[in-house]
Amino acid sequence: MAKRSYKQNCALARSVDVVGERWTLLLIRDLLVAPRRFRDLLQSQKGIGTNLLAARLKELESAGLIERRTEDGGVHSYALTQSGIALEPAVLALVRWGLAHGPKNQPGDHHQDDWDLVALKALFQSQRAGDLLLTVQFETDGLTGWMAIAGGVVTIGLGRVPDADLVIDGTIGELFVASENPETLLTAGSPEMLKRYMSVFALRS
């Protein structure tokens, strides 16, 4: 069980008791993309330290937000439970707030390209997507991950998916921010389909 730091009869206080510790929401963010091994989380959370990471994972497991799975070869990975997945709307809302109102990035800030999958999901506009049915593969040194849109809902993950409608030779940042001609990053799919895909996010008018 989580420590009751605030001891207030308030749902917000009880929530912060569970997820308000440093690093906790960032671990949730990573696990919203895909299950991760301990070493993957340690690499993602620069500066956390092995003991603190182990403690945070134990707290999240005790709170019922994550579970430990055993993969082939006896290697453990961590995945969100249904209770942990239920935090996604709150995490996406905080991402949107950070993009609109948070402090600017500073030179030297650590960044992992798979975090942009979560940011892009936060900016998805279901009313713009309509009946769009699409799978997008991002394939580069910085990111091997995917995004699927179906029924006005976005799903994301790491790795490769078969028969993607669009294959991007670049990261999300390169596609949406750095490239003046996004279609040059396409290795599969049509420029028209890419334009349709890019139009369903709030960062594009």
H or E, element range at 126: helix 126-129
Q: Looking at residue 82, what is its pLDDT?
A: 98
The reply to whether 11-101 and 115-198 are identical in fold is no
pLDDT at 205 over 50: no
The C-alpha atoms of residue 134 and residue 188 are separated, in whole angstroms, by 13
pLDDT digits (tens, 9 = 90+) for 163-186: 999 999 999 999 998 778 999 999
Domain boundaries, the chain: 11-101, 115-198
Q: 24 and 16 in contact (C-beta within 8 Å)? A: no
Q: Looking at residue 28, what is its pLDDT?
A: 98
Multiple choice CATH, 11-101, 1.10.3720.10, 1.10.10.10, 1.10.1760.20, 1.10.1060.10: 1.10.10.10
Residue 137 corresponds to which tokens in the numbers above? 């593969």
Per-chain mean pLDDT for the chain? 93
Residue 90 corresponds to which tokens in the numbers above? 């709150």
Q: Which CATH superfamily is domain 115-198 in?
A: SCP2 sterol-binding domain (3.30.1050.10)
Helical spans, DSSP H, in 34-144: 38-44, 50-62, 82-85, 88-101, 115-122, 126-129
Residue 125: DSSP 8-state: -
pLDDT digits (tens, 9 = 90+) for 21-77: 999 999 999 999 999 999 999 999 999 999 999 999 999 999 999 999 998 778 899
**0.85 cut: is pTM over it?**
yes
